[in-house]
Structure 1
Amino acid sequence: MAGASLWGLAGLYLYLSPNLPEADTLREVKLQTPMRVFSQDGLLIGQFGEQKRSPLRFDQIPQGFIDALLSAEDDQFFKHSGIDPGGLLRAVSELVLTGEKGSGGSTLTMQVARNYFLSLERTFLRKFNEILLALEIERALTKEEIFELYVNRVFLGHRAYGFEAAAQTYYGRSLWELSLAQQAMLAGIPKAPSRNNPLSNPEKGKARRDWILGRMARLGKLDETQLAEARAEPVTAEYHGLQVQVDADYVAEMVRQEMVDRFGQGAYNDGYVVHTTVDSTLQLAARDALLGGLRTYDARHGWRGPERRLPPPLPLPTPIDESNSEIQEAQEAVAIPEELFDQWQDALRNMPVIADLDPAIVTRISEQGAELLHKNGSMITLAWEGDLEQVRRYLSENSRTARPETIADVLAVGDLVRVTSAGDGSWKLAQVPRAQAALVALDPSDGAIRSLVGGMGFELSKFNRVTQAKRQPGSNFKPFLYAAALESGVTAATLINDAPIVLDNLASDEIWRPENDSGKFYGPTRLRNALTFSRNLVSIRVLQRLGVDRFTDYLDQIGFDTSNMARNLTLALGTHAYTPMDIVSGYAMLANGGYRVEPYLINRIEDARGDIIWQSRPALACQDCDRLREVDSIDADQPLRMEDILNETSTETVNEAPQVMDPRITYIVTSMLQDAIQRGTGRRARVLERQDIAGKTGTTNGPRDAWFSGYNRNLVTTTWVGFDDYSLLGKREFGGTAALPIWIDFMREAAGPTLTPAPMPSGVTRLRIDAKTGERVTGSPKGSMLEYFLEEHLPPSAADGGSSIATDELKGLF
């Protein structure tokens, strides 16, 4: 009989073994681990993937947890060769005799075999395959490798796979940070993940935990004091969702899209770790600045009323005289039925918090203020004095009502509104702005995106206005027209007439009478002042004489897409639509000396094992490359090296960005844009008390779009404000009132220490001119000033009759 059984088992082995998978493949197995996205400084931005998993190496697993898990599952793990003969005999005999699974018998190694290679069907053949695979796994892998595979794969409830993910899910901490009782609680989950986890059934979970602790004591892993202390510890588990550390949803979504483009659906489950270029501190500053700017804009235009009006508890009496307090008194006396109160709570649960604006429902009003039910279930108060008494209702983008006389003019019981914390424990009435905004900041040396906010709130709209919203930049685009003019021989001192002009050569065949924003005309104006004060008529005349084709060719040269550009004189006023990312990329060239750098977001990508599988190699704006090539140790015909830029000694080659603008022109344009901040349309930015920043406002017809782009040598930032449906912003809204305040608030935190002035490039000459005529003067007469010129385009001198080579070339141009 025994011989027959032996022959039967041998035959079964010969039959099954050729079909078994190779145990060595476990070393190459890819756990279904979500993709994680981090900021440049290592803080979590987002996580994508269906299964929560955080793999651990054996040396990262605390000994107390190892003892707890082995006490629960396989206390002979480090001694056996993959199977427990005694336990197997019991399990196999029960399967043969009853056809049902009874007692255990599976070692940790057998569970690894089942979890990675086999199905969960309860059959004798599956069990025998499990045994054979366990023996093969023990031959191919070390005990530590096997233990790692088990710890990182097992399902532990609430979408957590692996014990590190379970520790984060149930306790919000890493496995090594847990107490022994908490580690034992986790060790007890695999027996019944859906029933024994401490959230679904804390009583059963505790009973299983205490049994494990007792077994640890019997195995000599705990003394009686430790056992008593661990068993006395209460169950503290609660659900911990994804602990995002940096609010950068638009950034995370951009990374997700790029990763899916690179790796397909495997991006979600192959454990990729993406390190971005975003600085967490700058990202927080960008978000706060954008939200603050939108709320300030919104407050200027009035309150639009409650988001919803829910049924009040009882019909209100018909008012005879709304100026008396009968309505308030009636509502004060209203009792809220429990059923209605529950409906209100349901309504609040379904309302998301948007950009730190919390939903709440008015439950009672009085002469002193209003009581509201907050989304979190608490009751809060809005005061009449100092808050509600100042509320003025929105009528149009240009008008508001007078201040309210009573609280009933503002709120009623059942109104669902937004509130915001005032920071001192009190609350203020608020609303979600209808207007939207975008902010993006780049490092101009290589295009690294340091912060990006694509809108008011990702939960409100996933449309990324930085990369997807093509809007007219208005005067924000003028610096590139002026750069083209400087390259053509115009100087910052050239006089151009700011006078009315009538044009009929547009594609629409309509008569066009452009104006300045002020409605005034200023006569002959130096080019510097025209950019500083954003004179539209000067810009049109510059483009008219420069030529549309010549201008678009220049835009092509420096990297702007002109393929769908309407080629007419309205281009002088920024009528061709670009995204904020397009605009900030253009301003980066002005900041870095004329190099075209491409914005990039991903710095490096690591696989699940921590190996770098992709590293960014951005093109660098290398202003010192020519100087460094003159160093004797560097071959001018060889690629420049990274450390040659940093300390002139390295061996890693540098990817140089193409220089598409004359650095002399970027220097002069920057000086003009510094004037725009010190005395022009961007003068609100003087509050920063910096001399190293330059920038330009932009406002389009309506106005519908408000812009500000500005920079120093370390950071370039573009902000935009407008409505997604192209509604009007209001007749008193401009780039300097709607977009610039956001830029100021951000750059106050982001710009860093004030930089010393950039050195003047060779080929630029600084001469004294007459501020009225733009002509060169000698000495320092009254009304004169210093101006920058390209050395081949010097200004005329009054002493020689007002002529120069450059002037002769430009005769009749303006």
Structure 2
Amino acid sequence: MVKTFKILLILGLLGAISAASITYAVYYNVKDRIPSVEELKTIELKIPLRIYTADEQLIGEFGDQRRTPIDYNEIPQGLEDAILAAEDTNFYHHPGVDILGLGRAVMQLITTGQKQGGGSTITMQVARNYFLSFEQTYTRKFTEIFIALKMERELSKHEILELYVNKIYLGNRAYGFEAAAQVYYGKSLAELNLAQLAMIAGLPKAPSRFNPVVNPSRALIRRNWILQRMLSLGMIDKPAYQAAVESPVTAKNHGIMPDIEADYIAEMVRSELYDTFGDDLYSTGMTVYTTINAARQKAANEAVFNGVLAYDRRHGYRGSIETRVDLIDAPLEEQESALQDIGRFKDWQTALVISTTEATADMRLADGQRTTLVWDAIKWAKPYLSEDSQGATPSTVADVLVPGDIVRLRPDADLGWQLAQKPTVQSALISLNSKDGGIEALVGGFNFYENKFNRITQSKRQPGSNFKPFVYASALSRGYTAASIINDAPVVFNDTNLASAWRPTNDGGKFYGPTRLRQALYRSQNIVSVRLLDELGVRPTLDFLRRFGFDPNELPHNLSLSLGSANLSPLQIATGYAVFSNGGYQVQPYLINKVIGRNDDVLFEANPVTVCVTCTLLDKSPDDEQQMALFNTDQGIRSLPVAPQVIDSEVAYIIYDMMRDVIKYGTGRRARVLQRNDIAGKTGTTNDGRDAWFSGFNGELVTSVWSGFDNASSLGRGEWGGSVSLPTWINYMRSALANTPSATVYKPSSLVTVRIDPDTGERALPGQKNAIFEVFRKEHVPQQRQVNLPSAVDTVRNEAQDKQQDNNILENLF
């Protein structure tokens, strides 16, 4: 008996020594893979780049892992219970390794020859996810155990569970449970009910197999099993269990759900930051705040969208996407598949025409639903012949649609659905704060996902008459006035920089004779602009245009410059117009306001040059050190670099005042619908109508709209800046300026208003009935003309007395 005991003792000791030796050998083999205490306590998650508007609305997200980290105290109790019930019931009682669980896994392997359950605890899963690969080897498993044991010594259970909740992969590029809640339900974890929490708690075991979007039936079984476990463990009561298991599967793929659509902006930010941060941009949790105003961006989106559709519809219907008569009697699944293959467009639907009557069309939508398209939703569709012409107005549905047609429909608040087509024309809008250059709204094209080409920054097109105000500003800076007379008459130029003799004409071929510059601008008279540039000289004007940010090397060195023949981007045009809006100062457009790191450290903060009229008045010619001035803001006094003054504020105001007349009397008259006295602007249309522009502003905001085809073909007969781009500008500015006070451009007190003869631009004679008021710089006020005939003076005096005018009017007359 004693001998047997000794043998057993020796064998036990040998076994213990062997086990210890094996354990040490395994530990020695894997010790280099076990993280240090510092590594355990400084674990960093891969967090995507997130881009926000200035008012903290999400614009976009970039990164291969969708993740929104949360703290332990943000984990709903229902989710924690569901995770423990599904993954590790003894989590709060084991040291990181569940011996019984591992034993069961080993026995299953021995008895079945197959690995059925890993016996992994939550701690072991955290160790694997953070520090190891997913290779199926015993070495990896042992390493996982050692790391788990070390984690349990160094971290609290709550810290370990927090790491698990934020790291685990849950399908559809969602890492962590908060991201999964957003992806599958479009909500935060705090908004999910028990059934939904149990559903996503079932994903770690097999994210693809139990995906509620791809495999809802399997996901339902897994969810209900977890709910049953929670009930048996006393985590929930019977009524809560019953309500949860009876809940339907409501998960959908919500993907990334930005608060505001601004894809061109998001890509601009991503591209700019990538040059600095490289691939770290997508994983280090940077947060970017832009200068974008969410409400104005939404208004810009709608204005461009509706403007493009309005142009497209008035040029006719180009027909169905295709006609598939064989689909009419095909099984529903085949119809849906064919329609999905065509692809949806924004919130539109593709639809199959099943049958038609004289005034209706029976349609099957891509989502399987049926709808009836009424005549009011179809009757607009005149056949497209060319950009210049359309066919006859349809009288019945059969003139437009036939059974088997596959078409696009767009939602309509009144009609339900309306016949639509994907536009071929493009439009773009840029709106910026003229005081510091902050971009408040930007739309680079009709649909980013079809064409990522950003027409605000990447496209350079001819601005046409939209460029004329810059030439006129050059003239005012060199002694011309708004009342200066230029003869609008036929002329031939033999410019050595032009290929042949040039005979410029006005639109419509009409000539107006001697014309004041103010009239010429609001009528957009080409001859006056060309003659004016000829008088000014091309080279001096090119040098002056630098002040607006234009590079003379990019501008034509001939008289066609006066008609906007330069190739410029909408961003360049808007930046130039900002000089007029802010009273003569050059600002630099910028989009990124601040970049914040994962630890709330500021990686970048914009410090834009900012208009400070007071600073400039104190010192008209500040040196570099004096450029840094105290700028008074709503937040208090802060140090900002002062924007340089590039044109005289008197010139800026007179140009603004002249462009207000573009809206009052000229080519921008449609904008009078806004009923604002502070807005000014200029249309622009190039030869053959290839480009249509409208740029306008008040004393705070500058907005430029371009429209045209990417291939530079004509917009068609009768299409101008005033018909294509101005309506988009109006619709945007109506919203952007709503509830804002009038913001006129700063008017220097040195300007003088006098009465002039509208025909000659000279000072009006006393009593002249057709005299009008004009604004002048003091040194350019026309001289008072002398009246040589005494009878004329007497006549004026008698007329004044007859009309019982007061002394103030008499003073104005003389």
Q: TM-score range by the shorter chain?
A: 0.7 to 0.9
* CA RMSD, Structure 1 to Structure 2 (Å): 2.9
Q: Which residue in 1 is equivalent to 2:310? A: 296
Are 1:592 and 2:582 counterparts? yes
Q: Which residue in 2 is equivalent to 1:346? A: 337
Say which of 766, 772, 781 aligns to 2:759. Answer: 772
Q: Deviations over 1:640-659 (max 9, x none)?
A: 245x3447x53x42132222
Please tell me whether the aligned partners of residues 691 and 754 of structure 1 are also in contact (alpha carbons under 8 angstroms): no
Say which of 711, 722, 735 aligns to 1:749. Answer: 735
Describe the shift of the 1:607–1:95 C-alpha distance in structure 2 as closer, same or farther (beyond 3 A).
Answer: farther
Instruction: Tell me the matched-pair count.
Output: 770
Please tell me whether the aligned partners of residues 491 and 795 of structure 1 are also in contact (alpha carbons under 8 angstroms): no
Please tell me whether the aligned partners of residues 494 and 527 of structure 1 are also in contact (alpha carbons under 8 angstroms): yes
Offset, 1:611: 4.3
Say which of 686, 709, 725 aligns to 2:695. Answer: 709
Q: Give me the whole-angstrom Cα distance separating, in 2, the residues matched to 1:342 and 1:130.
A: 47
**1:661-672 equivalences in 2 (<5 Å):** 661-672=647-658
Describe the shift of the 1:408–1:95 C-alpha distance in structure 2 as closer, same or farther (beyond 3 A).
Answer: closer
Are 1:518 and 2:508 counterparts? yes
Q: Deviations over 1:558-592 (max 9, x none)?
A: 31122232200000000011111111111111111
Describe the shift of the 1:221–1:592 C-alpha distance in structure 2 as closer, same or farther (beyond 3 A).
Answer: same
Say which of 513, 517, 539 aligns to 1:527. Answer: 517
Describe the shift of the 1:135–1:518 C-alpha distance in structure 2 as closer, same or farther (beyond 3 A).
Answer: same
Describe the shift of the 1:304–1:203 C-alpha distance in structure 2 as closer, same or farther (beyond 3 A).
Answer: closer
Please tell me whether the aligned partners of residues 582 and 746 of structure 2 are also in contact (alpha carbons under 8 angstroms): no
**1:648-663 equivalences in 2 (<5 Å):** 650=637, 652-663=638-649
Describe the shift of the 1:29–1:424 C-alpha distance in structure 2 as closer, same or farther (beyond 3 A).
Answer: same
AA of the residue aligned to 1:154: I
Q: Which residue in 2 is equivalent to 1:260? A: 274
Are 1:62 and 2:76 counterparts? yes
Q: Give me the whole-angstrom Cα distance separating, in 2, the residues matched to 1:104 and 1:800.
A: 109
Return the TM-score normalized by structure 2.
0.88
**1:8-19 equivalences in 2 (<5 Å):** 8-19=22-33
Q: Which residue in 2 is equivalent to 1:376? A: 367
Q: Give me the whole-angstrom Cα distance separating, in 2, the residues matched to 1:343 and 1:376.
A: 12
Q: Give me the whole-angstrom Cα distance separating, in 2, the residues matched to 1:674 and 1:552.
A: 25
Please tell me whether the aligned partners of residues 354 and 460 of structure 1 are also in contact (alpha carbons under 8 angstroms): no
Q: Which residue in 2 is equivalent to 1:682? A: 668
Gap runs ≥5 in structure 2? 1-13, 789-814
Q: Give me the whole-angstrom Cα distance separating, in 1, the residues matched to 2:27 and 2:582.
A: 71
**1:118-137 equivalences in 2 (<5 Å):** 118-137=132-151
AA of the residue aligned to 1:370: A
Please tell me whether the aligned partners of residues 92 and 124 of structure 1 are also in contact (alpha carbons under 8 angstroms): no
Q: Which residue in 2 is equivalent to 1:790? A: 777
Offset, 1:780: 6.1
Please tell me whether the aligned partners of residues 69 and 176 of structure 2 are also in contact (alpha carbons under 8 angstroms): yes
Please tell me whether the aligned partners of residues 649 and 747 of structure 2 are also in contact (alpha carbons under 8 angstroms): no
AA of the residue aligned to 1:194: S
Q: Which residue in 2 is equivalent to 1:319? A: none
**1:22-37 equivalences in 2 (<5 Å):** 22-37=36-51
Q: Deviations over 1:616-675 (max 9, x none)?
A: 222212223346899xxxx99583245x3447x53x421322222222211110000011
3-state SS, counterpart of residue 707 of structure 1: strand
Say which of 462, 468, 471 aligns to 1:472. Answer: 462
AA of the residue aligned to 2:415: G
Please tell me whether the aligned partners of residues 547 and 586 of structure 2 are also in contact (alpha carbons under 8 angstroms): no
Say which of 168, 184, 196 aligns to 1:154. Answer: 168
**1:281-360 equivalences in 2 (<5 Å):** 281-308=295-322, 310-313=323-326, 336-338=328-330, 344-354=335-345, 356-360=347-351
Q: Which residue in 1 is equivalent to 2:411? A: 421
Please tell me whether the aligned partners of residues 211 and 219 of structure 2 are also in contact (alpha carbons under 8 angstroms): yes
Offset, 1:36: 2.7
Q: Which residue in 1 is equivalent to 2:294? A: 280
Say which of 712, 715, 718 aligns to 1:732. Answer: 718
Q: Give me the whole-angstrom Cα distance separating, in 2, the residues matched to 1:205 and 1:684.
A: 58
Offset, 1:344: 4.8
Offset, 1:37: 2.6
| Identical columns (%) | 47
Please tell me whether the aligned partners of residues 95 and 124 of structure 1 are also in contact (alpha carbons under 8 angstroms): no
Please tell me whether the aligned partners of residues 429 and 442 of structure 2 are also in contact (alpha carbons under 8 angstroms): yes
Offset, 1:800: 10
Task: Return 551-560 or 791-800, whichever deviates more.
Answer: 791-800
Please tell me whether the aligned partners of residues 292 and 439 of structure 2 are also in contact (alpha carbons under 8 angstroms): yes
Please tell me whether the aligned partners of residues 629 and 636 of structure 1 are also in contact (alpha carbons under 8 angstroms): no
AA of the residue aligned to 1:55: P
Gap runs ≥5 in structure 1? 314-334, 802-814
Offset, 1:445: 1.5
Q: Deviations over 1:347-369 (max 9, x none)?
A: 32122333555433333233233
Q: Which residue in 1 is equivalent to 2:811? A: none
AA of the residue aligned to 2:665: R
AA of the residue aligned to 2:557: R
Offset, 1:797: 3.0
Describe the shift of the 1:76–1:624 C-alpha distance in structure 2 as closer, same or farther (beyond 3 A).
Answer: farther
Q: Give me the whole-angstrom Cα distance separating, in 2, the residues matched to 1:44 and 1:721.
A: 28
Q: Give me the whole-angstrom Cα distance separating, in 1, the residues matched to 2:328 and 2:220.
A: 41
Q: Give me the whole-angstrom Cα distance separating, in 2, the residues matched to 1:300 and 1:211.
A: 59
3-state SS, counterpart of residue 421 of structure 1: strand
Offset, 1:123: 3.4
3-state SS, counterpart of residue 40 of structure 1: coil
Task: Return 229-238 or 576-585, whichever deviates more.
Answer: 229-238
Are 1:116 and 2:130 counterparts? yes
Offset, 1:440: 1.2
Are 1:613 and 2:593 counterparts? no
Offset, 1:429: 2.9
Please tell me whether the aligned partners of residues 548 and 575 of structure 2 are also in contact (alpha carbons under 8 angstroms): no
Q: Give me the whole-angstrom Cα distance separating, in 1, the residues matched to 2:112 and 2:402.
A: 70
Describe the shift of the 1:392–1:202 C-alpha distance in structure 2 as closer, same or farther (beyond 3 A).
Answer: closer
Q: Give me the whole-angstrom Cα distance separating, in 1, the residues matched to 2:417 and 2:311.
A: 20
Offset, 1:208: 3.8
Describe the shift of the 1:764–1:66 C-alpha distance in structure 2 as closer, same or farther (beyond 3 A).
Answer: same
Describe the shift of the 1:780–1:149 C-alpha distance in structure 2 as closer, same or farther (beyond 3 A).
Answer: farther
Q: Give me the whole-angstrom Cα distance separating, in 2, the residues matched to 1:449 and 1:653.
A: 21
Q: Give me the whole-angstrom Cα distance separating, in 2, the residues matched to 1:506 and 1:767.
A: 41
Q: Give me the whole-angstrom Cα distance separating, in 2, the residues matched to 1:112 and 1:667.
A: 66
Q: Give me the whole-angstrom Cα distance separating, in 2, the residues matched to 1:255 and 1:71.
A: 43
Q: Give me the whole-angstrom Cα distance separating, in 2, the residues matched to 1:548 and 1:625.
A: 33
Are 1:639 and 2:644 counterparts? no
Describe the shift of the 1:366–1:84 C-alpha distance in structure 2 as closer, same or farther (beyond 3 A).
Answer: closer
Offset, 1:708: 0.5
Are 1:721 and 2:707 counterparts? yes
Return the TM-score normalized by structure 1.
0.88
AA of the residue aligned to 1:440: I
Q: Give me the whole-angstrom Cα distance separating, in 1, the residues matched to 2:558 and 2:63.
A: 49
Q: Which residue in 1 is equivalent to 2:188? A: 174
Q: Which residue in 2 is equivalent to 1:807? A: none
Q: Give me the whole-angstrom Cα distance separating, in 2, the residues matched to 1:97 and 1:9.
A: 25
AA of the residue aligned to 2:719: E
3-state SS, counterpart of residue 693 of structure 2: strand
3-state SS, counterpart of residue 554 of structure 2: coil
Task: Return 705-714 or 154-163, whichever deviates more.
Answer: 154-163
Describe the shift of the 1:420–1:629 C-alpha distance in structure 2 as closer, same or farther (beyond 3 A).
Answer: same
AA of the residue aligned to 1:418: R
Please tell me whether the aligned partners of residues 357 and 419 of structure 1 are also in contact (alpha carbons under 8 angstroms): yes
Q: Give me the whole-angstrom Cα distance separating, in 1, the residues matched to 2:102 and 2:400.
A: 76
Offset, 1:209: 3.5
3-state SS, counterpart of residue 475 of structure 1: helix
Describe the shift of the 1:227–1:358 C-alpha distance in structure 2 as closer, same or farther (beyond 3 A).
Answer: closer
Please tell me whether the aligned partners of residues 595 and 602 of structure 2 are also in contact (alpha carbons under 8 angstroms): yes
